[in-house]
Structure 1
Amino acid sequence: MKPRPGRQRPQQGRAAWLGVAVLAAALALFAWWQGALGELRAATPAQLLAPQAAAPAPAAAPSPAAAPASRSLGAPLSPLGLAQRREQLELWQGRLERAREALQGYQAAAQYPHESRPLSEHPDQLRPFAPITEERALRMPGGSTTQGVRLRTTQERVFASGMESNRITITLTDEQGRTLPLRVQRAVQKEVTPPGATARTAEVALAVNDTGTQGDLVAGDGTWSVLMQPGAQGFAGFAGTVRLELNLEYAGQPGFLYFDLVYSPEQAATWLPGVREAATPAGLDFFVKAQVHKPGRYVVTGRVDDARGTPVALVQFNGEVGAGAVEFKLPVFGKLIRDAKPEFPLVLRDVEGFLLKPDTFPDRVMLARRIGEQHRSRSYALASFSEAEWQSEERTRYLTELGKDVAEAEQKVRQLQP
């Protein structure tokens, strides 16, 4: 006899509810496992190292060797936790090394003030008035080059003011450095104007020669020379970039070359004779005198050598001055003198300066160059100068911030170490 369907329904319902319960339990277990794994991934190194909540005591007491480790480290970390801790430790050890290097580097550099630095830090400032020498290709007007030859050029300066001149030389050589015959077909001086603007001055033809005249030193030596002097060559009312364009020719091949000079017709200040010196424990100060016509921010730089010609210091004035007779202070810091141990007297040489004109072009008005020795100091005992390092609000602020970086990294490394 077939069983009645109504008697199977309770059994089928119980089976269904049992399946639902098993599925719910499995889902709950899976969710707990995912949450625990997420917490482990999200944990910071400090949290990973924090002592874990105490678990129920096991039936057997731990061995004497294991007890101290359990008390110091808490529950052992999973392999994933240990890997994360090692990664974080390496990261912070690298940060600590860089932070210490930054602090030590700044401490070493900040022994002396900005306006009095070792000249060895600035090798490009050692001979500021040496001509700018370049090796260039002989380029045709379209941009291609003539192979096997080179142009050797010199230019006295890139900034000029008033009646200052800029001497330029050109020599053509082969790959072995032998001088080759060169012809200058055309030389034109012109202003460089922005795109779309109209030139305010007319082009001026200049004489380029190898005759030993007009700026050329030796006749017939294959070195061609020309003088740019915008103030006397039609540009006395122009401020901006003046360009000298040259059309050249060698063995039937044309070439093109140009030189730029940033020019200002103004005269900001004129030097006055004499240099004053003053010695204190803080250092030896040179005072260079000038008659200022245009007030504003002036930057004046000089070089100081000792009696043997050994470079000692790059000294600078950078500040606002008014019109009239002024003195620009060029200080040699006391600790710099003590550390360099120069042989006295000290020699101030090669002084240059300009009036800074921010937010405009040209951004400076040059003062005349003071080439060579300008002053020779008296002799002083090294012990008369202080060994104290430079102190200022700026230095203290930087040392404080760099010290904070070191302290933070040291703390993190201590936390992450086993």
Structure 2
Amino acid sequence: MPTKRSKAGLVGVVVAVAVALAVVFWSGEGQEAAPPLPAPVSTAAAVQTSTQPGGPLGLLPAGPERAEQARLLAEQFQLADHTYCSYLASTRYPVSSRPIAEHPDQVYPNQLVTETTPMRGEGGRGGDPNVLLQTSQSRVFMVAGEAVAFSLRAVNAQGGTLPLVVTRAVSGGLTFGGARPAAQVSLAFSDDGSGADPVSGDSHYAAVLAPAQTSLAQFNGTIRTEVRYTVNGRAGVALFDVIYSPEVPALWAGAAREVIDDGSLSYVLKADVRQAGRYIVTGRVDDAKGKPFALATFNDVLRAGPNEIKLTVFGKLLHDKAPAMPLTLRDVDGYLLKENVDPDRALMPRLEGKVVTGKAHPLRSFSDAEYAGEERTRHLEEFSKDLTRARAALAALDPAQPPPASQCAASAVK
């Protein structure tokens, strides 16, 4: 019979392997691949134990201990198989070309940002929980020359409009530490049907902030608008934040075009880059019926001067989802990424709405091959080795039993 030390060692090995696999599987989103698993102990060590100190190695005899060992090894195989299959499926397309369903917050980036919250007083205190404040703002990130519209109104729990009076509204840049305070700008919220207010006299107040036309024109960072109001004699406060970029690192230069490139569908956009550096550009792709289909991303270093930015819809993604053709690229936004500063980006002017609609290409025009990047290939090889070891451990424990099948990689695991 095995000693207590040998059995404890086996359980420790299996637990360590399971923890390592779990860490890999739940690694952070946005990375192409998780780091490879550390190599577990050898198969022989996982399935054999010492019959006595210094004695020969041998398999556990039949009994509860052997059944427990079989259970643990089966769990190890299942976890290794799940990790391999999940990674295989989630990386069949590159990170630069993904189904847009994976990023629901990115589908319509230029929609109004709306919120309904209980009425709040100064510092979050006071207010009236029976009064709900409905607010909206037209954007969060702003480029030089852009404007943002704010609105607010008060309703009761049944949705009925309550009389609201705006008493003061001021916008100012947020500064920290010993930074010099930014200038403040007064905003005029109105309910007269002009400007950002569509209907007069409905207790729905609105205002527009255009930093470039104010003393905030050169402020770089978060601009907070504080609105003080009253409802039924009670005072409340509403806050709106936007991130403003007064510098323009690059400008769009010319019309976009659609090309078939290396088995995928790409949209090529021209840009005049003023500041060299790493640029992140994102575009949304709809099918012929207007249904959101893909999110295409460019992430690379651009030199100063004329450049081409390529947004790609991967061929395998087109084959798997078979969207109605032709496709339309819309709502493109981009920025120069900055390191170790706040804010961490300088925005390019956004391209709102349709940018380009292509041709009705047949699916045979595109490749059906999975993404085969170096990092993906390397990680799949490591995960496959872990799966092979786990499978071999089970086979060594009971050679009479057929080897377990993988959910997705039976042909890849020897």
TM-score, normalised relative to structure 2: 0.80
Task: Name the amino acid aligned to 1:406.
Answer: L
Alignment correspondent of 2:164: 182
Displacement of 1:196: 5.2
Q: Work out the percentage of aligned pairs sharing the same amino acid.
A: 39
Q: C-alpha deviations, 1:299-336, integer Å up to 9, x for none?
A: 11111112122222111111111122222101111111
In structure 1, what is the Cα distance between the partners aligned to 2:299 and 2:52? Answer: 59
What whole-Å deviation, never above 9, does each CA across 1:225-251 have from its counterpart, x for those lacking one?
112222222112221221111111011
Partner of 2:41: none
1:144 pairs with 2:145? no
Contact 1:281-1:384 at 8 Å conserved across structures: no
Alpha-carbon shift at residue 223 of structure 1 (Å)? 1.6
Which of 314, 317, 322 is matched with 2:298 structurally? Answer: 317
Aligned-partner residue type, residue 146 of structure 2:
E
Aligned-residue offset at 1:416 = 4.0
Match of residue 108, structure 2, among 100, 122, 127: 127
Unaligned runs of 5+ in 1: 1-34, 55-72
Tell me the equivalent position of 1:265: 246
- State the alpha-carbon separation in 1 of the partners of residues 325 and 212 from structure 2: 42
**Distance (Å, rounded) in 2 between the aligned partners of 1:74 and 1:407:** 20
CA distance in 1, matches of 2:2, 2:270: 77
Which residue identity is paired with 1:246? Answer: V
**Is 1:194 paired with 2:176?**
yes
- For 2:247, the aligned partner's letter is E
The match for 2:277 is: 296
Letter in 1 for 2:363: L
Q: Equivalents in 2 of 1:36, 1:187: separation in Å?
A: 77
Q: Kindly indicate whether the alpha-carbon contact (under 8 Å) linking 2:113 and 2:138 is maintained by their aligned counterparts in 1.
A: yes
Q: How many residues align?
A: 361
* Matching residue's letter, 1:146: D
Match of 2:67 in 1: 86
The CA deviation string for residues 355-396 of structure 1, in whole angstroms up to 9 with x for no partner, is 111211111111222111111112222112111111110110
Structure 2 gaps of 5+ residues are 11-45, 400-414
What SS does the aligned partner of 1:242 have? strand
- Contact 1:49/1:416 (CA < 8 Å) preserved in 2? no
Helix, strand or coil for the counterpart of 1:352? Answer: strand
Partner SS, residue 122 of structure 2: coil
- Specify the code of the residue in structure 2 equivalent to 1:296: G
- Residue by residue, what CA displacement relative to the aligned partner does 1:161-204 show, whole Å, maximum 9, x if unpaired? 212211111121111111111111110111212145441x3222
The structural deviation recorded for 1:139 is 0.7
Residue 272 of structure 1: how far off its partner (Å): 2.0
Higher helix proportion: 1
Larger Rg, first or second structure (1 or 2): 1
Shift of residue 111, structure 1, vs aligned partner: 1.5
CA gap of 1:357–1:304, structure 2 versus 1, over 3 A, is: same
Coordinate RMSD, CA, aligned: 2.7
User: Measured at CA, do residues 246 and 53 of structure 1 come closer, stay the same or move farther in structure 2, by a change above 3 Å?
Assistant: closer
The residue number in structure 1 matching 2:345 is 364
Partner of 1:171: 153
What is aligned with 2:265? 284
Instruction: Name 2:307's counterpart in structure 1.
Output: 326
SS at match of 1:273: coil
Q: Quote the offset at 1:415 in angstroms.
A: 3.8
State which of 136, 144, 153 in structure 2 corresponds to 1:162: 144
Picking from 327, 332, 355, the partner of 1:351 is 332
Letter in 1 for 2:389: E
- Alignment of 1:228 with 2:209, yes or no, is yes
Asked if the contact 2:100–2:293 (Cα under 8 Å) also holds between the matched residues in 1, the reply is yes
SS of the equivalent of 1:94 reads helix
Task: Call closer, same or farther: CA 1:53–1:371 in 2, change over 3 Å.
Answer: closer
Aligned twin of 1:99: 80
